[in-house]
């Protein structure tokens, strides 16, 4: 590891600030994160600072004594108890950040006056225990929905979709970056990926990077699993670099959906070590717009699954109870054919992830079954047909990606996560493909980022956000004669119809159960380009049937119908 790699970073911009950071200045760092003031070494008297609703702020404290094991969640328990407007109360865990420095990151959930008091396990340490302060919080501002509405996701009152913190519907459009953060996706690459996907209207990235970010000449380094065992300069450098990733995604509008490793890689990890890691992660990053998928394929029938799954179910409850914001969380499952849905009986699973898998197309009926399951939970398609995966039967091209995405949404999913060969695994050099070679010709991350299907996902979001998508429900059996058309509707007010490529649609097919005499505006939406074509003079219901217009061609199309006001 070089000296430059150990330099921490300015969290707001994700760029090293050489005027502030240096090897001898870390303990007395003073800078601004968003609207929150970071305060080091202040006296015991109450501190005063200002902040903004839905924007993370950071408070810093100096312990009187340096802890031998600052990751011990019992002997070094450090929390700040916040009290805010309208009786709001949050107990936010703090974290060690080098030497005698401890921090608390907090996102105010309401504007107005907040106060706090700290509690440390060693009550004799007056640098950490019984510190008090107040924060005057302004209403939210900012250019992103995360800043305007809050990035701690919630479940809607209907149980059908997710929302931002303030209840605004959240359209989940994700990309799969499993190798983030690690040496496979250096921060500059991550920043480029974020910028591109934000421009394409994505809202989520999925990641479970746990490998080292910095490595020595032998390829060794500190990863997440080593980074809460004992303090060291390398451990601190690792977490400060992770800060850059999380803060950049948060500031630019992407919700990180994060975990650690995958399936059998967690078999040898004792529950106590996993709890220790997660406690530190939530303390350090819980104020940001993230949520948790625990691990990839938690119930894959690989390794010691019978022992791993119960352990991870207990871990899920621990994560929920540790999170001061009780945000909506989930767990990433094995493919639908092997998913035993063990987590579905837990109280901490707020929304269900689905994995249709690769080189196959899950029919809408799979999603319908989850949509109508009890208890009611939002459903997200989290892994299906990564673009450019190739075998002897099928190459997943942009059309296949669109078919998977629209089928999932039309079937009842409230979101879809895209994935691409090379990009999902952080391939920077084709000569080092990791596991991607088994899925077809190797691509680099940059090549995966440029694939057309990924760009076309922005049109999926645009199509659904042109109507009140959160009110739509799968409409089964309303096309007569039956065909390949998938319908989602808000009663008879708005209807979205998806015609897959080469869809079988009988001549004279109609929508049934309509209301005689109603008329509808109609537009063809091109899912490849986002172009819209209005049909004039529209469509009229006759004898409770609405005739379907002929498609422009045999490619896939979306038909959007809106009932005209009477």
State the pLDDT at residue 3: 34
Question: Is there a contact between 152 and 145 (Cβ–Cβ < 8 Å)?
Answer: no
The answer to whether residue 11 sits within a structural domain is no
- Pairing mode of beta strands 255-262, 290-296: parallel
**Cα 542 to chain centroid, rounded:** 45
Q: Cis (ω within 30 of 0) for the bond into 382?
A: no
Adjacent-strand bridge partners of 525: 532, 558
Distances (CA, A) of 48 to 86, 197, 386: 20, 38, 50
d(CA 428, CA 404): 27
Q: Output DSSP code: residue 4.
A: G
Question: Mind listing the pLDDT tens digit for each residue in 30-42?
Answer: 333 333 333 333 3
Q: Output DSSP code: residue 359.
A: S
- Using alpha carbons only, how large is the chain's radius of gyration in Å? 25
d(CA 53, CA 36): 10
State the pLDDT at residue 32: 31
Contacts for 114 with CB less than 8 Å, ≥ 6 apart: 51, 82, 83, 84, 85, 88, 108, 134, 135, 136, 137
Query: Of 80, 108, 141, which one is at a domain's C-terminal end?
Result: 141
Q: Is there a single domain that holds both residue 183 and residue 224?
A: yes
pTM over 0.85? The answer is: yes
The answer to whether residue 211 sits within a structural domain is yes
- Pairing mode of beta strands 352-354, 379-381: parallel
d(CA 501, CA 155): 33
Q: Output DSSP code: residue 50.
A: E
Q: Is there a single domain that holds both residue 68 and residue 203?
A: no
State the pLDDT at residue 37: 37
Q: Is there a single domain that holds both residue 127 and residue 177?
A: no
Q: Is there a single domain that holds both residue 483 and residue 545?
A: yes
Range of the domain at 132: 31-141
Q: Is there a single domain that holds both residue 92 and residue 136?
A: yes
The answer to whether residue 148 sits within a structural domain is no
Question: Mind listing the pLDDT tens digit for each residue in 441-499?
Answer: 999 999 999 999 999 999 999 999 999 999 999 998 899 999 999 999 999 999 999 99
d(CA 7, CA 14): 12
Residue 104 phi/psi, 5° resolution?
Answer: -130, 125
CATH number at residue 391: 3.20.20.80
Three-class secondary structure assignment of 244-297: HHHHHHHHHCCEEEEEEEEHHHHCCCCHHHHHHHHHHHHHHHCCCCEEEEEEEC
Q: Is there a single domain that holds both residue 175 and residue 300?
A: yes
Q: Is there a single domain that holds both residue 250 and residue 117?
A: no
Q: Is there a single domain that holds both residue 392 and residue 266?
A: yes
The answer to whether residue 19 sits within a structural domain is no
State the pLDDT at residue 47: 77
Residue 244 phi/psi, 5° resolution?
Answer: -60, -45
The answer to whether residue 2 sits within a structural domain is no
Query: Of 110, 141, 172, which one is at a domain's C-terminal end?
Result: 141
State the pLDDT at residue 46: 62
In the numeric block, the tokens 């302060």 are attached to: 133
Q: Is there a single domain that holds both residue 466 and residue 480?
A: no
The string over 416-443, giving b where at least 16 C-beta atoms fall within 10 Å of a residue's C-beta and e elsewhere, is bbbbbbbbbbbbbeeeebeebeebbebb
Query: Of 452, 470, 488, which one is at a domain's C-terminal end?
Result: 470
Please report how many Cα atoms fall inside a 13 Å half-sphere around the Cα of residue 101, on the Cβ side.
Answer: 18
State the pLDDT at residue 476: 86
SS3 at position 208: coil
Counted domains in the chain: 3
The answer to whether residue 25 sits within a structural domain is no
Q: Is there a single domain that holds both residue 180 and residue 120?
A: no
Rounded average pLDDT per 10-residue block, the chain, 566 residues: 34 37 35 34 59 97 97 98 97 98 98 98 98 98 96 98 98 98 98 98 97 95 97 98 98 98 97 98 98 98 97 98 98 95 97 96 92 94 98 96 98 98 97 94 98 98 98 94 96 97 94 94 98 95 94 97 87
The answer to whether residue 10 sits within a structural domain is no
Q: Is there a single domain that holds both residue 322 and residue 206?
A: yes
CATH number at residue 71: 2.60.40.10
Adjacent-strand bridge partners of 296: 262
Rounded to 10°, the helix 364-371/398-411 angle is 30
Q: Helix, strand, coil % (nearest 5) of the chain?
A: 25, 25, 50
Query: Residue 192: enclosing H or E segment and its boundaries?
Result: helix 187-199
The answer to whether residue 151 sits within a structural domain is no
Q: Is there a single domain that holds both residue 395 and residue 483?
A: no
């Amino acid at each position: 590891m070089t000296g430059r790699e150990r330099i921490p970073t300015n969290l707001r911009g994700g760029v090293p600030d050489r005027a502030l950071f240096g090897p001898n200045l870390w303990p007395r760092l003073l800078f601004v994160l968003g609207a929150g003031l970071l305060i080091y070494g202040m006296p015991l008297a109450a501190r005063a600072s200002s902040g903004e609703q839905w924007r993370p702020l950071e408070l810093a404290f100096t312990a009187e004594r340096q802890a031998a094991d600052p990751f011990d969640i019992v002997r070094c328990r450090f929390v700040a108890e916040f009290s805010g407007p309208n009786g709001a109360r949050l107990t936010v865990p703090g974290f060690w950040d080098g030497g005698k420095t401890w921090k608390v990151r907090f996102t105010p959930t309401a504007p107005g006056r907040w106060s706090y008091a700290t509690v440390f396990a060693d009550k004799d340490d007056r640098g950490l225990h019984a510190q008090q302060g107040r924060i005057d919080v302004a209403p939210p501002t900012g250019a992103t929905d995360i800043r305007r509405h809050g990035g701690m996701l919630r479940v809607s009152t209907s149980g059908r979709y997710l929302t931002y913190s303030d209840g605004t519907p959240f359209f989940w459009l994700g990309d799969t970056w499993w190798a983030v953060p690690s040496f496979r996706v250096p921060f500059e690459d991550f920043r480029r990926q974020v910028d591109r996907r934000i421009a394409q209207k994505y809202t989520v990235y999925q990641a479970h990077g746990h490998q080292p970010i910095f490595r020595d000449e032998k390829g060794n380094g500190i990863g997440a699993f080593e980074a809460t065992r004992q303090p060291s300069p390398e451990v601190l450098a690792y977490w400060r670099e992770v800060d850059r990733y999380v803060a950049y995604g948060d500031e630019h509008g992407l919700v990180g959906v994060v975990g650690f490793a995958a399936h059998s890689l967690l078999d040898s990890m004792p529950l106590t070590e996993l709890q220790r890691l997660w406690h530190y992660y939530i303390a350090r990053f819980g104020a940001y717009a993230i949520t948790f998928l625990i691990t990839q394929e938690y119930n894959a029938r690989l390794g010691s699954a019978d022992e791993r799954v119960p352990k991870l179910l207990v871990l899920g409850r621990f994560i929920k109870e540790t999170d001061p914001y009780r945000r909506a969380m989930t767990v990433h499952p094995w493919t639908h054919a092997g998913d035993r849905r063990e987590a579905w009986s837990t109280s901490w699973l707020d929304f269900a992830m689905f994995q249709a898998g690769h080189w196959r197309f899950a029919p809408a009926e799979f999603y319908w079954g989850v949509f109508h399951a009890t208890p009611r939970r939002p459903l997200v398609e989290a892994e299906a047909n990564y673009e450019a995966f190739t075998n002897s039967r099928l190459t997943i091209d942009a059309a296949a990606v669109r078919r998977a995405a629209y089928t999932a949404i039309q079937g009842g999913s409230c979101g879809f996560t895209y994935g691409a060969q090379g990009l999902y695994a952080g391939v920077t050099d084709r000569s080092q493909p990791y596991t991607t070679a088994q899925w077809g010709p190797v691509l680099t991350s940059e090549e995966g980022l440029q694939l057309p299907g990924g760009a076309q996902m922005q049109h999926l979001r645009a199509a659904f956000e042109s109507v009140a998508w959160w009110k739509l429900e799968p409409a089964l059996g309303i096309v007569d004669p039956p065909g390949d058309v998938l319908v989602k509707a808000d009663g008879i007010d708005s209807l979205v119809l998806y015609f897959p490529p080469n869809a079988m649609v009988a001549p004279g097919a109609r929508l049934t159960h309509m209301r005689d005499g109603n008329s509808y505006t109609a537009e063809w939406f091109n899912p490849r380009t986002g172009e819209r074509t209005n049909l004039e003079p529209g469509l009229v219901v006759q004898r409770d049937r609405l005739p379907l217009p002929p498609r422009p061609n045999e490619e896939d199309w979306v038909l959007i119908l809106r009932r005209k006001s009477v």
